[in-house]
A and B are shown apart, each in its own frame.
Chain A
Amino acid sequence: MTVLTRRAAAMLVMAVCTVYFLTPLWWLFVGATKSGGRGVGLWFDHFQLGANVRAVLTYQDGIFVRWLVNSVGYTVGAAALGTLLAGMCGYALAKYRFPGREAIFNVVLGGVLVPATALALPLFLLFSKAHAANTFWAVFLPSLVNPFGVYLARIYAASSVPDELLEAARIDGSGEVRTFFTLSVRLMAPAFVTIFLFHFVAVWNNFLLPLIMLGNQKLFPVTLGLYTWNSQVDQRPELRGLVLVGAFVSLAPMIIAFLALQRFWRSGLGAGSIK
């Protein structure tokens, strides 16, 4: 095979895959611009995206806006705080030797293998006992825990924060906690960004926990809201169009964020996956 045919074959595979991955998204975009939620077809007719979006955002006194805000609240809060906590823990596991270190790491690693969905039901029972199911906190607090983040942070801290630097900071009289927040955090920044992004997507996509935990529509994240609309389509046909437009509206910010943050997705990953 010549280089040229090889190149052509490689590009053909790439092109076919691009069509496969992007067509559904394109179809959703086109479908969101049509009238009456007739999703058929891959090209525009009666372009009325603005009116459709307005219809979704104002339906039932703007419940959809509420869902979007909830999703952002659950996700950004849990991912930011969760990343910090996982990062601190992973950093301590990498940089200090202390009794119980290996035990903690192994238990946390076991936590990576325990499916989060297996926890949803007992969490619901526990929160019900505390009369706290069906609240914001019932979804938010469990979403803070990210064992895989601890694992990534430990690997990254071990390879990117030199002991000599910490020793030098000690000699300069800097306390351990201050050194972490002024020095180590900066060295670990790529890992922090990666952990944050994965955590963000995981919480944004979480379905079972809110499904089991929440009864009050006003607390739903947008995924659960769309699911509820979609399962009511038979009784309320007007929802069919709203589901498509709502799906599009909920995806748009995520896709824009992905495009804007794409260079960060890789940086912290390499360290975690080669070891």
Chain B
Amino acid sequence: MTGPRGARRHLPAIAFFVTPFAALFALFYLVPIGYAIVQSLYKVERTGTFGPAREVFGGLAQYRRVFTDSPFWHSVERVLLFGVVQVPIMLGLALILALLLDSGLVRGKRFFRLAFFLPYAVPGVVAAIMWGYLYSPNLSPFTAVTANLDLLGADLVLWSIANVVTWVYVGYNMLILYSALLAIPPEIYEAARIDGAGVIRTAWSIKIPMVRPAIVLTTVFSIIGTLQLLAEPQVFRSFSSAVSSTYTPNLTVYATSSVPNFHLAAAFSVVLALATFVLSFSFLKFTQRRGAR
């Protein structure tokens, strides 16, 4: 690394490296965030019922509507429930598969790694269309299941969607965890071998603690992904009447902006982004504190 004195000499080069990304980041990340906040502070006012609409500063009026909008908060509850169940199942399965691939018990590792990872090549929209067909009683090859279980009904459709997300992302998370397992230096296993620790013992007391950062990373990405759930439920709306236009927070944003009520939609976006940020950030801090102990 070059010191502070060298930095001045290299300033043109540093500017050359950093500026293009920084400019795009500012334009397409920071400016939109700022703009959303500004938009959320305005409201549309009409003089009389049919009078011309004017945009006026409304202060926190939109936020008052956000906080009293019960469909929105129902959708937040729904994705939180979804996340509490789906994220541990998905990451648990990903971790088990990664540990099995790394355990030396499995033959044909390359094949399995690829087979599990392949669904990640399927875009969420396409995966949802595919599973939507598989769940539909008159289209599915699994008639024994679909005849007895209404997978697209109000009771189960959330978990049917959870299955789609799990199917797509287990392999991706498995790959991240498996890469972390491969990066553990082999000397570390020596002591365990001498102590006579078995496969399960080694996995539990050495491997899992060593790949903790990767587990934290995948969890944060999964939390963000869950709160942003959009493509899959949006597709499911054409398979199931139980999926309303406000089924997830992001669907609410989309539905509100199509009304169109951009000011309210912007306020929803801001609240959602803030909630996502706070949740993933506090999860990071929480795990860091526990990790430091």
Contacts and interface: CB of A to CB of B under 8 A. Distances in A.
A92 B25 contact: no
Contacts of B105: 6-7, 10-11
B199 A6 contact: yes
Contacts of B125: 205, 207, 223-224, 226-227
Chain A contact residues, majority secondary structure? helix
Interface stretch (A21-29, A46-54, A57-65): A21-29
A122 B231 contact: no
Nearest to B11: A98
Interface of A: 6-7, 10-11, 13-14, 17-18, 20-22, 24-25, 27-28, 31, 38-42, 85-86, 88-89, 91-99, 104, 107-108, 110-111, 113-119, 121-126, 141-142, 144-145, 147, 150, 163, 166, 175-177, 180, 201, 204-205, 207-208, 211-212, 223-224, 226-227, 230-231, 233-234, 243-244, 247, 250-251, 254-255, 257-259, 262, 265-266, 269-271, 273-275
Which of A28, A244, A269 lies at the interface centre, i.e. has the most chain B CB atoms within 10 A of its CB?
A269
Interface of B: 1-4, 6-7, 10-11, 13-14, 16-18, 20-22, 24-25, 27-33, 35-36, 39, 93, 96-97, 100, 103, 105-108, 112-127, 129-134, 138-141, 167, 170-171, 175-180, 182-184, 199, 210-211, 213-214, 217, 220, 224, 227-228, 230-231, 234-235, 237-238, 250, 253-254, 257, 262, 265-266, 269-270, 272-273, 276-277, 280-281
Nearest to A38: B139
A273 B167 contact: no
Which of B179, B183, B257, B262 lies at the interface centre, i.e. has the most chain A CB atoms within 10 A of its CB?
B179
Contacts of B231: 205, 207-208, 223, 227
A11 B129 contact: no
B129 to A, nearest CB: 5
A257 to B, nearest CB: 8
Contacts of B175: 265-266, 269
A53 B291 CA distance: 54
B107 to A, nearest CB: 7
A86 B119 contact: no
A96 B148 CA distance: 63
Contacts of B183: 270-271, 273-274
